Structure 1
């Protein structure tokens, strides 16, 4: 059966539609064709390619114009439906069933029975599940929580390292936490020393002196407070000479 000329073809078929679409879908189909066939998009093509694309563009444009009026669109839609009813439903080939593929047996990996190790201890803040029996915790296998003395000692050592690196803000936070865990003069004095160093770095000399003197009252043997007071006096004298 010979194909009808473009003037007699159904505009829905030209635009690749099914015959039931409305104007927005028809416009979208036309724009998709125009995006690849419009002469402005084919400046680098050969004259032959431009001529073929221009012909396709004009056919699509004419089809879009033919379907723009509602009555014409309804007429072409009915003609397309009648043509489809005349041709009858398309025969679909029966599905091809693939031969069954027998998968090779998968052997499960050997499961080794673990030896009895330390029982699981949930991290702080995480409560164990309420359903089912709770796991037993053995005295030898349970993860030991550090005592306040041990935790405070670790914080104190970290604070001294930060103080040697002149990171006074970090050292102040560490000594403050250590003083909360173990409120002993050594931790409290070092907290005051770090606070005084922050005042000294911003030239709040009076507040810095007050912090260092409080540290010495708490711990007279605090070498860091004594050295900080000597440094304070040097900076104060140098500041006054500069003025």
Structure 2
């Protein structure tokens, strides 16, 4: 296979991938890097940090453009599969040696008159009745305790009282905290999980708002506008979607003036 002239480094490694991901996973990895290293997000950083972030952003963008082509993506995936180190073969261990035959037992000790000593009977209390084995432990009411079968998991069983709606509410609260911290990738993951547990219009709208912010950070203005408008269709009172549209109009206007 010929060397790809359009990309010097492995684009899968640039995006932190394993080489077997599909296009949606590749896009998600690129958006995560772009949201952290885009120049518009680093206004308060030093010139050195801005230069490093810009280099990281351009490398991720170039890697995404290469992997967006099906033939290039398949070519790099096959190349990574061939260059992965093979797992070392399991060393062959010699079979364990057979245990030595036990030494023959000595004959029972006999006293001076030559009569063998009989083995002692099991210990019995003073009244002469042999001790019976202990029965299975039973509680106070007399019902035997069931013994779990071998291999059964120990410990208390998980409670089924936790409702999916309660878990979705906790994920939604955590997603709002991440959204207020401008961590759109984390917020999108939390809102997506909340939507799977409880597909309410609020959860779905906030998932679209986070997608719109990610598109906005990479200057995909058309996709960002589509995400914010779909969020308003699901939830007309969604304040976050309206704020996103206002921010979109400002950034797209500045971008058009700069061009």
Does TM, scored on the shorter chain, surpass 0.5? Answer: no
More helix by share: 1
Larger Rg: 1
Please classify the TM superposition score into its range, dividing by the shorter chain length. Answer: 0.3 to 0.5
With normalisation by structure 2, the TM-score equals 0.40
* Greater relative CO, 1 or 2 (CA 8 Å, sep 6+): 2
